[in-house]
Structure 1
Amino acid sequence: MTNPQSGANPPPDDSVTPDSLLHTGSEGEVSPEDLVLASGRDLTPENLAWAQRKLAEEGPGAIDKLLP
């Protein structure tokens, strides 16, 4: 019995993101929008203000606490 997916190309909607496009953590610039999205919140003025305060207090490492 063979695995139906072995050697088969995945369908276009099931493609894998290349490693070069993946990034996490604070190795680059972190924006308030990044922090809001990493926290799972909506981009609202209140959440952006929260993210700005958090970045001011903790720096770019604040995002590391939100990512797995």
Structure 2
Amino acid sequence: MSTSQPEASRSADDRTTPDALLHTCPGTGVAPEDLVMATGRDITPANLEWARRKLETEGAAAIEKLLP
């Protein structure tokens, strides 16, 4: 589809983000803060400790379970 077409005339499918762009990239390093924020929790010492333990056991893929 051409990008010169006005937004109002595009179908709803043209405005959605492609699935391939929604996935995270675990190879870039996931910090405990990232995991806590992905759950919608506040960054507190207890939540950071939970995230550290989860990252130790599941690795960076732990965030993939929370994000598409």
Q: What TM-score does the superposition give when structure 1 sets the normalisation length?
A: 0.63
Q: Which runs of 5+ in 1 are unaligned?
A: 1-5, 8-21
RMSD over aligned CA atoms reads 1.8
Q: Which runs of 5+ in 2 are unaligned?
A: 1-5, 8-21
Partner of 2:49: 49
Q: Number of aligned residue pairs: give it.
A: 49
Partner of 2:28: 28
User: Matches of 1:32 and 1:48 in 2, distance apart?
Assistant: 6
Partner of 2:64: 64
